[in-house]
Amino acid sequence: MSDDPREKAIGLAAETMGELVDFWGFKASTGRIWTLLYLSTKPMPADSIADEVNLSAGAVSMGLSELMQWGLVAREAMPNERKRHYRAETDIWGIIRRIFRERELRLVGRSVRQFEEAVALLEVAIEDGDNTPETAFMLARLQGLLELARLGYTMVENLADFGQFTLKPIQGILNWRRGNA
């Protein structure tokens, strides 16, 4: 490893971002590639990226493709250069909002639909004569999960659309649920 403080800082930041994005379900290598490009003063070709983050050409190519699909990296033409160069999207908040819109919002929306289906199944069972305390208990619990999922959807949607995140919409419900559990 180099003694150059800038290279050490880039390496540390790239490893840290790799760990963070790995936690959120992305490949650590994409976090390392994005961080290198984010910290670079100019667009970089793939072979230089591979050298800097110590990845194979194939891993860099796949990482760049994934990053471009998410809009986190773009190709940039360089005068008198044949190699493709890449630069990072630098609007961090925009990146977070885009990922929440395209990934988390879809997941929470699917959860809402599935909880609605589960509630509907039990409501039909009760209408058809299954009035047991267990069914009523399950229905009440599922309705609570559905309510929480709907609030979660609203919160993620607000974050994705407006960059605002607040727990205020659910504080009353959580306090009420705590008292009635």
φ, ψ (nearest 5 deg) of residue 73: -140, 145
pLDDT of residue 118: 95
CA-closest candidate to residue 49, choices 10, 92, 94: 10
What is the DSSP code string of 76-97? E--TT--S-EEEE---HHHHHH
Sequence-distant (6+) residues with CB within 8 A of 112 are 146, 149, 150, 153
Token representation of residue 126: 């009760």
Distance CA 159, CA 153 (A): 10
Phi, psi of 24 (to 5 degrees): -85, 5
Confidence band of 58 (pLDDT split at 50, 70, 90): very high
Q: What is the mean pLDDT of the chain?
A: 87
Reported pTM: 0.69
Residue 170 CA, distance from chain mean position? 22
Find the length of the chain: 181
List pLDDT tens digits, range 70-98.
889 999 988 888 899 999 999 888 888 88
Sign for the CA dihedral angle at 68, 69, 70, 71 comes to positive
H helix or E strand, kind and range, residue 147: helix 133-162
- pLDDT tens string 11-26: 889 989 989 888 888 8
44, β-bridge pairs? 86
Q: What is the pLDDT of residue 3?
A: 82
Q: What proportion of the chain, given as a percentage, has pLDDT over 70?
A: 88
- Do 46 and 83 meet the contact criterion of CB atoms below 8 Å apart? yes
Q: How many CA atoms, within 13 angstroms, populate the side-chain half-sphere of residue 64?
A: 25
Task: Choose the CATH number for 5-90 among 1.10.10.10, 1.20.1090.10, 2.170.190.11, 3.40.50.2020.
Answer: 1.10.10.10
